[in-house]
Amino acid sequence: MGIKTALPRYELYLYTAVLAVAVIWAGSWIFEASSENVNRKSFKESMKPGWHYFGRKMDVADFEWAMWFSTFRNHILFALTGHVIFAKIFTLVAPKHRSLIFGVYGGLAVLITMGWTFMALVLSHCIILYSVALVKIKWMCFAAGLSTLASLKLEPFNSWQEALVTGSFNLQDILFYGGCGFSIMRCMSFALENCEKKDGNYTFSDLVKYNFYLPFFFFGPVMTFDRYHAQANNTQLTRKEREMWNITTKALLHLGVILVVDVFFHYLYILTIPSDMKLATKLSDWCLAGLAYSNLVYDWVKSAVMFGVVNTVATLDHLDPPQPPKCITMLYVFAETHFDRGINDWLCKYVYDYIGGNHDKIFKELLATTCTFAITTLWLGPCELVYIWSFFNCFGLNFELWVAKFFSLPPFSTIESAMGEAMSRRIRGVFNAANFWAIVLYNVLSLNSLEFAKMVGRRLIFKGFPLSTLSVLLVTYCGVQLVKERERQQALLEDPEPVKPVDGGKEKAE
C-alpha cells in the first residue's frame, strides 16, 4: 500500500538534507579516528604506504580486494583478456561451436594454473554428479551434490583434497576452494535441470563446457545451467542498440569505482578500526554506526565491482549473467538481502521458491527458509559465526512474514485502510528503519566479528538510548523514505498511472 503515493516535495528535500548531514557527521568521526590512530601497533599488519601524492598510509585489511586489484591484478587481466580474444575470434569463425571454445580455453587455463591433480579432482566431481543426474531423481541429485560440497567444507575430507593440489603460489588455496565450490554448485544445477528434461539427457560434454567457462569458474557468479546452455548455444548473435557503448561505460565506471575506493582507504580505515576492539570501545555511537553501515556498503561495492568485471566479459560473449547485488542502502526488508546474486538465484530457483511457493504460508516459509539457510551454511563453511549469521537472517526473513500477517488482521488492516496512503507509507517507514538496522547488525558480524556486532548493538540500543538510538533511527527513516520514493518512480515508469498528490494538487507523477 502506498507504493504509488507521492510525498510532498519539501518533505523529500528535508529527508535528503538530514541524511546528507548525518553521513558527513559520521564520516568526520571515522576520519578523526583514522587520522589519530594511524600509527597504532594493532594497525601495522593491515596498513601499508599509500599513494605518494596523498602522503598517507592505506587500509589494506581486505585480502580479496588487494588480490583482485593489486597483488594478482595482472594475472587476472591476462587470463580474462586471453578469453575475450579467443572467444571473439571463434565466435566470428565458428559461432555454432563457441560454447566448446569457451570450455576448452577455460579448461586449459585451469589446468595450467592449478595443475593436473586439481583438474582431476574437479572432473571427478563432474563425473559423480553427472552419473547421479542420469537417474533423474531430484532428491538423489541434492544428496550427491550436498555430500560432495560437504567433503569440501568439512574435516578431514577438505584437508585431504586440498593436500592434493596446493602448490607454490599464494593464491592457489583461494583458487582451490573457489573453483571446487562453484564447480559443485554448477554441477548440481546441471543435475537438477537434467531431471526437468523430458526427452533424453544432456551430455557430459554439455556439463564440462558449462562448468569450465573461465570468467565464472573461480569466483562466480553462478549462472544456472538452463540459462547458460540456452545463451551459449544461441547462434543468432546480435547486439542491442548502444549495447557496446553501455558495456564500455560500465567498464570505465568499474575502473572509476576502484580508484575511488583506493582513495577512500587513504582517509577512512573502516576495515582496520573494527578489528581493534580496544579502540572501538572509545569511539562515539555515531562513529560505530557509521563503521557498521560503511562496512556493509563497502562489501556491496566490492561484490558489485568484482562481479561487474566478470559480467562485462560475459556480456561481450553475448551472455546475460546474474547482475550485481542490490545496494545495502536500498534494503529495508530481509527478503531482498543478498551479497551474491548468482548464489541467491540458485537458492531461490532450486530451494526457496520451490518449497515456499508464493511465500504467504507461515509453515511453508519456515521450511523453505530453514532449508535455504542450511545449504547456505554448508556453502559458507560450517562454524559458529556462520551458524549465528544463518539463524538471525533466517529468523528475520520469517519475522517479516509474521508481522505482515499480524498487521493484515483487523483492527490493524481497518485502521490502515482508513488512514491516507501517505500516512501509511510514513508509518511503514518507521518499521522499515528498525528493520534496516537489524539487517546491518545481523550481517556486520560476518564481515567484522561477533564482538564488534554485539558492541554496536549494545551502544545503539541500550547505552545510547534514547539520544543515539532515536537519532540514528530518524536518519535511517529519512533514507528509507528516499528509497521508497525511488521505487515509486520506477514503478510509475513500468506501469504509468495518475498519482493523487498529497499536498493539494501541486505534485505530479514523475
What does 47-101 look like in DSSP terms, one character per residue? EEE--TTTTSEEE---HHHHIIIIITHHHHHHHHHHHHHHHHHHHHH-GGGHHHH
Residues 328 and 447 in one domain: yes
> What per-residue confidence (pLDDT) applies to 497?
59
Residue 154 in any domain: the answer is yes
Angle at 481 (CA atoms; ends 17, 340), nearest 5 degrees? 110
Q: How many angstroms separate the CA atoms of 331 and 485, rounded?
A: 13
CB-CB neighbours of 98 under 10 Å: 25
Query: Cα–chain-centroid distance for residue 231?
Result: 23
Residue 240 in any domain: the answer is no
Which residues does 385 contact at the CB level (< 8 Å), separation at least 6?
445, 446, 450
- Could you say which DSSP state residue 461 is in? I
Residues 94 and 51 in one domain: no
Contact 436, 332 (CB under 8 A): yes
> What per-residue confidence (pLDDT) applies to 142?
96
Angle at 308 (CA atoms; ends 45, 291), nearest 5 degrees? 40
Residues 446 and 401 in one domain: yes
Contact 83, 214 (CB under 8 A): yes
Residues 191 and 299 in one domain: no
Residue 507 in any domain: the answer is no
Residues 355 and 309 in one domain: yes
Residue 251 in any domain: the answer is no
The domain of 437 spans 9-58+257-493
Residues 276 and 382 in one domain: yes
SS (H, E, C) 224-288: CHHHHHHHHCCCCCCCCCCHHHHHHHHHHHHHHHHHHHHHHHHHCCCCCHHHCHHHHCCCCHHHH
Residues 473 and 380 in one domain: yes
> What per-residue confidence (pLDDT) applies to 216?
95
Q: Which helix (H) or strand (E) covers residue 401, if one does? A: helix 384-407
Residues 324 and 470 in one domain: yes
Concatenating the DSSP letter of every residue in 346-377 gives HHIIIIIHHHHTTS--HHHHHHHHHHHHHHHH
Contact 349, 366 (CB under 8 A): no
> What per-residue confidence (pLDDT) applies to 372?
96
Contact 132, 144 (CB under 8 A): yes
Residue 248 in any domain: the answer is no
> What per-residue confidence (pLDDT) applies to 496?
67
Residue 250 in any domain: the answer is no
Q: How many angstroms separate the CA atoms of 302 and 11, rounded?
A: 33
- Mean pLDDT (10-residue bins), the chain, 510 residues: 69 94 95 92 88 88 84 83 90 88 94 90 96 96 96 86 68 83 96 94 96 93 95 87 90 93 94 94 95 94 91 93 86 83 93 91 94 95 93 94 90 86 90 94 91 95 93 96 90 67 39
Domain count, the chain: 2
Residue with cell 537434467: 194
Residue 509 in any domain: the answer is no
Q: How many angstroms separate the CA atoms of 151 and 124, rounded?
A: 13
Read off the amino acid at residue 460.
L
Residues 460 and 341 in one domain: yes
Residues 122-145, buried b or exposed e (16+ Cβ, 10 A)? bbebbebbbebbeebeeeebbebb
Q: How many angstroms separate the CA atoms of 370 and 431, rounded?
A: 24
Residues 127 and 190 in one domain: yes
Residues 391 and 479 in one domain: yes
> What per-residue confidence (pLDDT) applies to 69?
80
Residues 304 and 408 in one domain: yes
Burial of 41 (0-12, 13-18, 19+ CB in 10 A): exposed
> What per-residue confidence (pLDDT) applies to 51?
86
Residue 223 in any domain: the answer is yes
> What per-residue confidence (pLDDT) applies to 2?
46
